[in-house]
Amino acid sequence: MAHLRIDKLRKSYGALEVLRGFDLDVPSGEFVVFVGPSGCGKSTLLRAIAGLDGITSGSISIDGDDITDLPPSDRGIAMVFQSYALYPHMTVHDNLAFGLKMAGMSRAEQKVRIDASARMLQIDALLDRFPRELSGGQRQRVAIGRAITRDPSVFLFDEPLSNLDAALRVATRIEIARLKEKLPDTTMIYVTHDQVEAMTLADRIVVLQGGRIEQVGKPLELYHRPNNLFVAGFIGSPA
Ligand code: ADP
Ligand code: MG
């Protein structure tokens, strides 16, 4: 279970205030998609949730426990980026195992986690390969698989498909939809600028502008009843 709560989150880089008091409540197991123009603060928000960047003020909690000051490794949060960030000199297996080894997990437990994750992402046959021997789509599946081995309660995706060509993007999107079904208790936040990804994956869509929420709602609510032209431009019906 992972009920994620973000309260009055503020984040500035120098004089630039990127997040200006951001509030969001994400019930356990919900799949929330963030959309919004480039530079509106989507990645900043994900990095703040993951603990990769300090914040100016505000708080983040999971199931009522304040995690605002915890280091990234203690938050139970995994993040997948646009670039796959695999270790090039390690096989797929060793990429999957690395974080588990660092966490001091026994070999037997590592094997259970890696087998389950490899099966889920259909990368079992690739375990002995090196990243350079994989397609972009396979690399991204390995990156997602690596995040899953850590059994996160919250999963963050930052435009995970945007480096893939159109066909791979569709295939990997379907993979992520499957993942959502297989991990119904895992809370997921997914950033994209692709309307199809947002409409097909989201339980709720959050439309951001200038570090603030313009509108939040179920995909069809936003599609049929956007609050304004800005939201309509991202999600709304062309009529
Ligand atoms: P998005 O992911 O929505 O495109 P970002 O969260 O990456 O937007 O960036 C939001 C704003 O913060 C942008 O104006 C960007 O230039 C700025 N920014 C992001 N990271 C840094 C940083 N490390 N230092 C200074 N400014 C940054
Ligand atoms: Mg970004």
Residues 16-31, mean pLDDT to the nearest whole number: 96
Query: In the chain, where does DSSP find H-type helix?
Result: 42-50, 92-102, 107-121, 136-149, 166-182, 195-201, 219-224, 229-234
Report how far ligand 1's centroid is from the alpha carbon of 47 (Å): 11
DSSP string, 124-162: GGGTTS-GGGS-HHHHHHHHHHHHHHT--SEEEEESTTT
> Is ipTM strictly over 0.95?
yes
Residue-level pLDDT at 163 = 84
Residue-level pLDDT at 47 = 96
Of all ligands present, the nearest one to the C-alpha of 12 is 1
Of all ligands present, the nearest one to the C-alpha of 19 is 1
Give the closest residue (by CA) to ligand 1 atom 20. Answer: 44
Q: Is the pLDDT score of 84 beyond 80?
A: no
Give the closest residue (by CA) to ligand 1 atom 17. Answer: 39
Q: Among 25-34, 124-133, 226-235, which is the least confidently predicted range?
A: 226-235
Residue-level pLDDT at 164 = 85
Nearest CA-CA partner of 33 in 183, 171, 166, 197: 197
Q: Is the pLDDT score of 103 beyond 90?
A: no
For residue 227 the two structure tokens come to 């609050």
Of all ligands present, the nearest one to the C-alpha of 39 is 1
Report how far ligand 2's centroid is from the alpha carbon of 38 (Å): 7
How does pLDDT run across 185-210, given as a tens digit for each residue? 999 999 998 899 999 999 999 999 98
How does pLDDT run across 129-182, given as a tens digit for each residue? 999 999 988 999 999 999 999 899 999 999 999 888 888 889 889 989 999 999
Report how far ligand 1's centroid is from the alpha carbon of 41 (Å): 6
**CA–CA distance from 104 to each of 84, 144, 147, 210 (Å)?**
24, 21, 16, 41
Q: Is the pLDDT score of 238 beyond 70?
A: no
How does pLDDT run across 27-67, given as a tens digit for each residue? 999 999 999 999 999 999 999 999 999 999 999 999 999 99
Contact (CB, 8 A) for 154 and 65: no
Q: Give the H/E segment covering residue 59.
A: strand 57-62
Contact (CB, 8 A) for 138 and 126: yes
Q: Is the pLDDT score of 95 beyond 70?
A: yes
Backbone φ and ψ for 88, nearest 5 degrees, come out as: -65, -30
